[in-house]
A and B are shown apart, each in its own frame.
Chain A
Amino acid sequence: MRTILFIIQKEFLQVFRNKSMLPIIFILPIVQLIILVNAATYEMKNIRVSVVDLDLSGTSRKLVSKFQGSPFYLLKNSSFSYKEAENKMKQGKIDMILQIPMGFEKKLLTESHANVQFVINAINGQSAGLTNAYSTMILLDYNREVLIENANPSMLGGLRSIQTDYSYWYNPKLNYKTYMVPGILVLLVTIIGLLLSGMNIVREMEIGTIEQINVTPINKIQFIAGKLIPFWIIGMFELAFGLSVGKLLFNIPMEGNLGLIFLSASVYLFVILSFGLLISTITHTQQQAMLVSFFFMVVFILMSGLFTSIESMPKWAQNLDRLNPVMYFIKIMRMVLLKGSGFADISPHFWSLVVYAGCSLSLAILRYRKVS
Chain B
Amino acid sequence: MPAATENIITVKDLVKKFGSFVANDHLTFEVKRGEIFGFLGANGAGKTTAIKILCGLSYPTSGKMSVAGFDIYTQREKVKKNIGYMSQRFSLYDDLTVYENIRFYGGIYGLRRKEIDTRTHALMQRLGFESARDKLIRDIPLGWKQKLAFSVAILHNPKIVFLDEPTGGVDPITRRQFWDMIYEAAHEGITVFVTTHYMDEAEYCDRVSIMVDGRIAALDTPDNLKKQFGTFSMNEVFIKLARA
Contact of B107 among A2, A208, A212, A372 (CB under 8 A): A2
Whether A6 and B103, one on each chain, are in contact in the complex, defined by CB atoms closer than 8 angstroms, is yes
Q: Is B91 an interface residue (CB 8 A)?
A: yes
- A160 located at the interface, meaning its Cβ lies under 8 Å from any Cβ of chain B in the complex: no
Per-residue CB proximity of B56-83 to A under 8 Å, as 1/0?
1111000000000000000011001101
Contact A371 B76 (CB under 8 A): yes
CB within 8 Å of A: which B89-144 residues: 89-96, 100, 103-105, 107-110
Nearest CB of chain B from residue A166's CB, rounded to whole Å: 58
Listed in ascending order, the chain B residues whose CB lies under 8 Å from chain A are 55-59, 76-77, 80-81, 83-85, 87, 89-96, 100, 103-105, 107-110
A27 within 8 Å of B by Cβ?
no
Is the pair B90, A3 in contact by a Cβ cutoff of 8 Å?
Answer: no
Contact B91 A3, beta carbon cutoff 8 Å: no
Interface string of A1-15 (1 = CB under 8 A from B): 011011101100110
Fill in one digit per residue for A208-238: 1 if any B CB lies within 8 Å of its CB, else 0. 1101111111110000000000000000000
> Using Cβ atoms and an 8 Å threshold, which residues of chain A touch B96?
10, 13-14, 17
Least distance between B100 CB and chain A CB atoms (Å): 6
CB distance from A174 to the nearest CB of B (A): 49
- Report how far A7 CA is from B103 CA in the complex, Å: 10
Residues on B with C-beta less than 8 A from A3 are 107-108, 110
Chain A interface, DSSP helix/strand/loop, else mixed: helix
Hey, which chain B residues are within 8 Å of A372, CB to CB?
A: 57-59
In the bound complex, do residue B95 and residue A17 qualify as a contact, i.e. CB atoms below 8 Å apart? yes
Q: How far is the CB of A218 from chain B (nearest CB, A)?
A: 5
Among A2, A7, A215, A219: residue with most chain B CB under 10 A:
A215
Give Cα A207 to B103, complex, Å.
Answer: 19
Q: Given that A207-B94, A371-B56, A371-B58 are known contacts, is A216 also in contact with B89, CB under 8 Å in the complex?
A: no
Listed from nearest, the 10 A-B pairs whose CB atoms lie closest are A6-B107, A208-B89, A212-B91, A215-B85, A217-B80, A10-B104, A217-B81, A215-B55, A218-B108, A216-B108
Contact for A215 among B83, B100, B107, CB less than 8 A: B83
Determine the distance from Cα of A119 to Cα of B210 in the docked complex, in whole angstroms: 85
Evaluate whether A212 and B110 lie within 8 angstroms (CB atoms) in the complex, with A14-B96, A217-B81, A371-B57 already known. Answer: no
- Can you identify 9 A-B contacts, CB atoms within 8 angstroms? A7-B104, A9-B103, A9-B107, A14-B93, A17-B95, A211-B85, A215-B56, A216-B80, A371-B57
Cβ contact within 8 Å between B103 and A212? no
Q: Which residues of B contact A213 (CB under 8 A)?
A: 108
Once the chains bind, are A217 and B109 in contact (CB under 8 Å)?
A: yes
* With A10-B93, A14-B93, A17-B95 as contacts: A215 and B57 at CB distance below 8 Å: yes
A214 — which chain B residues lie within 8 A by C-beta? 56-57
With a cutoff of 8 Å between Cβ atoms, the chain A residues found around residue B76 in the complex are 371
Say which residue of A13, A17, A208 sits within 8 Å of B87 (CB atoms).
A208
Q: Is the CB of A18 within 8 A of B100?
A: no
Of all chain A residues, the one with the shortest Cβ separation from B78 is A217
A12 to B94, CA, bound (A): 15
A217 proximity list for chain B (CB < 8 A)? 77, 80-81, 109-110
Instruction: Provide the residues of chain B in CB contact with A370, threshold 8 Å.
Output: 56-57
For A6, the chain B residues whose CB sits under 8 A away are 103-104, 107-108
Closest CB-CB distance, B33 to chain A, in whole Å? 20
